[in-house]
Amino acid sequence: MSIPNTAPLLDVRGVTLQYKTREHLVTATYRVDFQVFPSDRFVLLGPSGCGKSTLLKAVGGYMAPVEGDIFLRGDRIAKPGPDRMMVFQEFDQLLPWKTVKQNVVFPLMVSGRAKSRKEAEEKALDLLDKVRLSKFVDNYPHTLSGGMKQRVAIARGMAMEPDILLMDEPFAALDALTRRRMQDELLTLWEGTRFTVLFVTHSIPEAIKIGSRILLLSPHPGEVKAEINSAGSPQDQLQLESRIQQMLFSEEIREAENV
Ligand code: ADP
Ligand code: MG
């Protein structure tokens, strides 16, 4: 089924998310609205604790909004599914007792995304080649660097051909050089298939580099502060960085005044 380009792939409407602990009710996000369209590189940007991971969890179907709705291709999200694959920040998201290749093949088989083992293996090897891990397909995760593990997680997510790839600060725990290289690689992968990605970060330069659209969230509880179209020339990007910085800074002043 083809969808007209004007229909959002992901539609987040007035979403309030809360955690209920025995002592507290924590409001993580408050009435957040945004829409992701096919082939968007949509970035959620905001300070630590503003509810970015919580929003991704809700899109993933792991958590239900207390207010508002989330729709994927027009259907309300009620549970997790292979149409939304998640890549996390942690390096330990791979199955340690399975090889690199098996880590990609396994979800393809379990979900029925691949019709046969042969098809699953072909897909796995193709994606592992795209993330430059052909030489390591029979390695176990503990023998890989952090960056390599993240590349396996990305290959696994992409092999499933989800409607949307959810990435929660996937490069935050990497050293600066590796991080920059991974950002470049993600963009190269995107050029190849123009998959839709919802990317979370608290880094302004990373948001500008990765995103075609950026949603700026206010500190706890996360509310939409602005939506920024970030496609532009490198000069525009420098201006954009200082503009975003000012927006975040003005928020801090307002917070300080409230104390
Ligand atoms: P971010 O990813 O932007 O750093 P999170 O979505 O992790 O923010 O957290 C948003 C808010 O929800 C924070 O105040 C955090 O302390 C709270 N929170 C996150 N997870 C839980 C949880 N499991 N139980 C209670 N509160 C939580
Ligand atoms: Mg987080």
Q: Does ligand 1 lie within 6 Å of residue 28's CB atom? A: yes
- pLDDT, residue 103, reads 98
**In the predicted model, is pLDDT for residue 225 greater than 80?**
yes
Q: Which of 16, 27, 54 maximizes ligand 1 atoms within 8 Å of its Cβ, making it the mutation to test the pocket?
A: 54
Cα–Cα distance for residue pair 192/185, rounded to 1 Å: 11
pLDDT, mean of residues 236-248: 85
- For ligand 1, atom 19: residue with the closest CA: 54
**In the predicted model, is pLDDT for residue 5 greater than 80?**
no
pLDDT digits (tens, 9 = 90+) for 126-182: 999 999 999 999 999 999 999 999 999 999 999 999 999 999 999 999 999 999 999
Interval between CA 48 and ligand 2 midpoint (Å)? 7
* 58 closest CA partner among 11, 111, 8: 11
**In the predicted model, is pLDDT for residue 215 greater than 90?**
yes
**Cβ 85 vs Cβ 165: under 8 Å:** yes
Beta-strand ranges (E) seen in 1-40 are 10-20, 25-36
pLDDT digits (tens, 9 = 90+) for 32-68: 999 999 999 999 999 999 999 999 999 999 999 999 9
pLDDT, mean of residues 231-256: 74
- For ligand 1, atom 6: residue with the closest CA: 51
Q: What are the tokens at 3?
A: 């969808």
Interval between CA 19 and ligand 1 midpoint (Å)? 8
Query: Angle at Cα 199 formed by Cα 44 and Cα 115, nearest 5°?
Result: 145
Which helix (H) or strand (E) is 168 found in, with range? Answer: strand 164-168
17 Cα nearest atom in ligand 1: 12
202 Cα nearest atom in ligand 1: 3
Cis peptide before 205 (omega within 30 of 0): no
Interval between CA 51 and ligand 1 midpoint (Å)? 6
- pLDDT, residue 239, reads 87
pLDDT, mean of residues 102-106: 98
**In the predicted model, is pLDDT for residue 4 greater than 90?**
no
- pLDDT, residue 255, reads 52
- pLDDT, residue 259, reads 39
**In the predicted model, is pLDDT for residue 246 greater than 90?**
no
Its pTM stands at 0.92
169 Cα nearest atom in ligand 1: 2
Pairing of strands 213-217, 41-45: parallel
Interval between CA 47 and ligand 1 midpoint (Å)? 12
- pLDDT, residue 76, reads 97
Interval between CA 52 and ligand 2 midpoint (Å)? 6
Q: Does ligand 1 lie within 6 Å of residue 203's CB atom? A: no
- For ligand 1, atom 25: residue with the closest CA: 19
Cα–Cα distance for residue pair 26/15, rounded to 1 Å: 14
Q: Which of 15, 16, 17, 19 maximizes ligand 1 atoms within 8 Å of its Cβ, making it the mutation to test the pocket?
A: 19
Interval between CA 49 and ligand 1 midpoint (Å)? 6
- pLDDT, residue 231, reads 76
pLDDT digits (tens, 9 = 90+) for 185-199: 999 999 999 999 999
- pLDDT, residue 258, reads 46
- pLDDT, residue 233, reads 72
Q: Does ligand 1 lie within 6 Å of residue 29's CB atom? A: no
% of the chain beyond a pLDDT of 90? 83
Q: Where do the domains of the chain lie, and which CATH numbers do they carry?
A: 34-83+164-259 (3.40.50.300), 94-161 (no CATH)
- C-beta neighbour count of 69 within 10 angstroms: 13
- For ligand 1, atom 12: residue with the closest CA: 28
User: Whose atoms come closest to the Cα of 32: which ligand?
Assistant: 1
